[in-house]
A and B are shown apart, each in its own frame.
Chain A
Amino acid sequence: MQQAGAPARWVPEKREQTWLAWLFDWKPFLIVICLMPAVGLLLVFLTYPLGLGIYLAFTDATIGRSGVWVGLENFIWLAGDPIFWGAVFFSVFYTGVATVLKFALGLWLALLLNNHIPFKSFIRAIILVPWIVPTVLSAIAFWWIYDPQFSIISYVFVDVLGWRDTNIDFVATAWPARWSLIAANVWRGIPFVAISLLAGLQTIPPSLYEAAMLDGATSWQRFRYITVPMIMPILAIVMTFSIIFTFTDFQLVYAITRGGPVNSTHLLATLAFQRGIPAGQLGEGAAIAVSMIPFLVFATLFSYFALARRKWQQGESND
């Protein structure tokens, strides 16, 4: 509705471009401005500590003394240290076994939860409990469960069921302690795996299963040819995270065994802390921590490249 006296057309007012407006219209400047806060935060809170850690690994710093550059001396010394190699072995073993168990059980749980079962949402909520309680809390719980005298498991087996005469040795000798720690880690890690994989399972359209069913697939074949390839991408990401978290684990081990008995359950992270802080050898602790980097990079690259890249997900034409 236009009034009779109004101008026929509204013309936008032409504004003078100031130099400031010009500057902000200039893409490179804009990019730098927009990236600066993020880059700044990264530098201060991520790169600086990391850089400092790496620097320390090449010094003989101890607590209270800044130390001097010693080159590779720390690493050479570690190369001849059986406790360090023990920690390397246990870190790899712990990560490998725990990851396999976590994924086997997590996938199984996710498949169960993906079916129609009674109280589904309630069970899903329960599943998350091990994940949401603080690690230290669950570590203390396990410490108590694994206690040589007061272990609830021992109590059940010895006093209730009467299947054993003596308490079970959970953390008193090397191998039982290692398996006990792995069990605790698996218990803690399953929810993350199960819930993530469940999310992946739920993105698979039911009609694919129906089509496969008509094509003659048994339930194992549907799992093998539909479920597995379809959740591979999310599995790869979850596995990458899981490996990193497990390899760098600290809280569980430190709270339950402190690396004992006789250094048999030291992970690289606990050993680094042990040497660096309580023992005061900052340089050596840092060197142990730095030696974790190649393992992590390798694990990440492996799961990323071996599992994540899938041609069918990408849109590009390939002919």
Chain B
Amino acid sequence: MATVEVTGVTKFFGSTQVLKDVYVSIADGEFVVLVGPSGCGKSTLLRMIAGLENITGGTISIGGRVVNTVPPKDRDIAMVFQNYALYPHMTVFDNMAFSLKLANAPQSVMEDEVGRAAKILGLGQLLHRYPRQLSGGQRQRVAMGRAIVRNPQVFLFDEPLSNLDAKLRVQMRAEIKELHERLKVTTVYVTHDQIEAMTMADKIVVMNHGVVEQFGAPLDLYDRPNNLFVAGFIGSPAMNMLEGRIEDGAFRTPDGAAWPLPPNGTGERPAEVIYGIRPEHLRLDPDGIRTTVQVVEPTGSETQVVLRCGETAMLGAFRERVSARHGDVLPVMPDPALVHLFDRQTGRRISA
């Protein structure tokens, strides 16, 4: 087990810059998820940690040792690829034992180690099969087994669940999490699914266009997103964003509705702001701001209502059952303590 330090890392492919000055610091035994939209450089960063991609600038260290020039096999890491990269001409056993075989381990050690991993993952019955005789979920498990057998300092996962169907994905998500609880190995996990990130991570790295937008615990990102990108990316359904100005101690949209401001902190507030409120932080309140109902979507546990406030469409998620119909007026009230304000110019959070 080891720490992973990514310090000021940049990456160029030819003349295109893919990573810009990335800092991530991962503690021993932590489960860190890299999340972000497609093409933001998550895989690239992971492959740089693995040593499959060279480092243009900055340093990466594993367990306190700078590994910029250390070849992949000497970094003591194991990686699970998106397409699993199982050796098609080897049985499950041989796939999992391959690293031991290369290290000239005796047969008995190979059997012990593979047996241990197979037991953790429930692969015992499949050891003599070839990868093409396995289902997607089983292949995924073999790929993890191959990583476990290595007994690495760090596990790297690149979107390991993206080839699985929704149900299996939820199941494997829990299995990977449980595996981490059991082995307590430092893990870096790439995904573009923010639910996966929220549910699995100790810490999340939100990336966009090669930049780390925010690095923190899942609930910190949810409660205090640093900027508009993180605010919009974390949380489902996504946060409502209203544009307007701060006037007379309230937030006013162009159509004149006045929204309550969060308690004032020490910082200066610019006049032009973006007012962010999560759908689940809106309440029904007879004295609230009058909005027009567009669509009502009851899910049973809650009711999601698409609302219109002036020109802006927004979403409310209410615990109550809402019997309003299209065109009805629905007064809603945000919880001022849970409102986020962002500078309209810079997109940054205005600290409250």
Contacts and interface: CB of A to CB of B under 8 A. Distances in A.
A67 interface: no
A221 B130 CA distance: 21
A224 to B, nearest CB: 10
A230 interface: yes
Interface in B129-156: 129-133, 146, 150
A15 interface: no
Interface in B41-99: 50-52, 71-73, 77-79, 81, 83, 85, 87-90, 98-99
Contact of B81 (A210, A221, A315, A318): A210
Given A210-B81, A215-B102, A318-B128, 7 more contacts: A205-B83, A211-B81, A214-B50, A215-B73, A217-B102, A312-B132, A317-B133
Nearest to A233: B89
B117 to A, nearest CB: 14
A312 B132 CA distance: 7
A208 interface: yes
B98 A215 contact: yes
Given A318-B133, A319-B129, A208 B73 contact: no
B103 interface: yes
A153 interface: no
Contacts of A213: 52, 71-73
Nearest to B128: A319
Contacts of B131: 312
A223 to B, nearest CB: 13
User: 8 tightest A-B contacts by CB?
Assistant: A207-B85, A215-B99, A211-B85, A216-B73, A312-B130, A229-B89, A312-B89, A216-B102
B89 A214 contact: no
B85 A208 contact: yes
Contacts of A234: none
Contacts of A205: 83, 85
B102 A221 contact: yes
A144 interface: no
A225 interface: yes
Interface string A293-319: 000000000000000001111010111
A83 interface: no
A101 interface: no
A226 interface: yes
A212 interface: yes
30 contacts: A205-B83, A207-B81, A208-B85, A210-B50, A210-B52, A210-B72, A210-B85, A211-B79, A211-B81, A211-B85, A211-B87, A212-B87, A212-B98, A214-B50, A214-B77, A214-B78, A216-B102, A217-B98, A221-B102, A225-B98, A225-B102, A311-B130, A312-B131, A313-B132, A315-B132, A317-B129, A318-B128, A318-B133, A319-B128, A319-B129
Interface in A176-223: 205, 207-208, 210-217, 221
B73 A214 contact: yes
Interface in B100-142: 102-103, 128-133
Contacts of A225: 87, 98, 102
B83 A207 contact: yes
Contacts of A212: 87, 98
A310 B131 CA distance: 13
B221 to A, nearest CB: 30
B114 to A, nearest CB: 13
A317 B138 CA distance: 14
Interface string A245-263: 0000000000000000000
Which residue, of B73, B77, B89, B98, has the highest number of chain A Cβ atoms within 10 A? Answer: B89
B133 A315 contact: yes
B79 A214 contact: yes
Contacts of A210: 50, 52, 72, 79, 81, 85
Contacts of B51: 214
B140 to A, nearest CB: 14
Interface string B280-294: 000000000000000
Contact of A312 (B85, B88, B102): B88
